[in-house]
Amino acid sequence: ALASKLATHELLEFRRISAYVYRCNKKWSQSIELSKNDRMWKDCIDTANESADEETIEDLLRFFCETSEKECFCAALYTCFSHVRPDVAIELGWLNGYHHFIMPFLVQNMRQTYERLQVLEKRTQPPKEEDAQDQIAQTYGQLGGFGNGMLMLENGGGMGGMPGGMPGGMMPPGQGGIDMSGFGQAGMPNGMPPGGMMPN
C-alpha cells in the first residue's frame, strides 16, 4: 500500500522510496519500471542485479539498446556479469554496433572460462610417471606381504607354519616323521627313564 501511494508522489525521492519498497518485496518489474520513468538508471541496474533473473536483466539490456544508452548498457553488463549469458551480450552488441561496449564483458568472460578450464585440467590430469611407478611398487609390496602370510597359513595348517598341524610344530608318528619310540627305553644311557623324566 505504501509503495503504490508513493509511486505517484510529486517528489522524486518519494518515488524512489516506492521503487525501493517494491525492490524489498522482490517485485522487480514494478521497481524497475518506476526507476525507468524517473531515468534512475543506477537503481534499475542494481535492482536487476539483485533479482538474479536472466530474463529481467536481458529486458533491461534491450531497453538500454532501444534508448541508445550505451554507457548504461556497458554498466549493466559489468554489474550483472554473473547473470548475463555471453551469447545475449554478443548478439545485442552486434545488432546495435556496441562492439567496444561489450568488449570488457567478453574479456572478463574469457578470463573466467580460462581459469575454470585450468582447474578442470589440474583435477583430471594423469599422475606423473615417477609418482605412478612409486604407487605401483607400493601396491605390489602390500599385495606381496599379504600373499605371503596367506601362503604360510595354508601350507602350515598349524601354529608356526610347521607341517602336520600339531601344536609346537610337532609331527605325529607315521606321517613322514622319524619314529623315535625305540629310543630312551632299555637302550637309554645312564639308565634314564623313558619320556625324558628324571629319576626319583
Per-residue pLDDT of 8-35, as tens digits, reads 888 888 899 999 999 999 999 999 999 9
Single-letter amino acid code for the residue at 190? N
Using CA atoms, how far apart are residues 180 and 195, in angstroms rounded to an integer? 11
pLDDT value of position 10: 86
103, pLDDT greater than 80 = yes
- In tens, the pLDDT along 30-67 reads 999 999 999 999 999 999 999 999 999 999 999 999 99
Using CA atoms, how far apart are residues 161 and 170, in angstroms rounded to an integer? 11
Using CA atoms, how far apart are residues 125 and 187, in angstroms rounded to an integer? 79
The total number of residues shown for the chain amounts to 200
Please indicate whether residue 193 or residue 110 has the higher confidence score (pLDDT): 110
Does pTM surpass 0.85?
Answer: no
Confidence of residue 2 (pLDDT cuts 50, 70, 90): confident
142, pLDDT greater than 50 = yes
Q: Give the chain's end-to-end CA distance (angstroms, integer).
A: 118
- In tens, the pLDDT along 146-173 reads 555 454 444 444 444 444 445 545 555 5
Distances (CA, A) of 79 to 28, 75, 145: 16, 6, 62
pLDDT value of position 139: 75
Confidence of residue 187 (pLDDT cuts 50, 70, 90): very low
pLDDT value of position 1: 72
Which strand (E) or helix (H) includes residue 152?
helix 129-156
The answer to whether 50 touches 26, Cβ cutoff 8 Å, is no
Using CA atoms, how far apart are residues 22 and 115, in angstroms rounded to an integer? 38
Using CA atoms, how far apart are residues 73 and 51, in angstroms rounded to an integer? 17
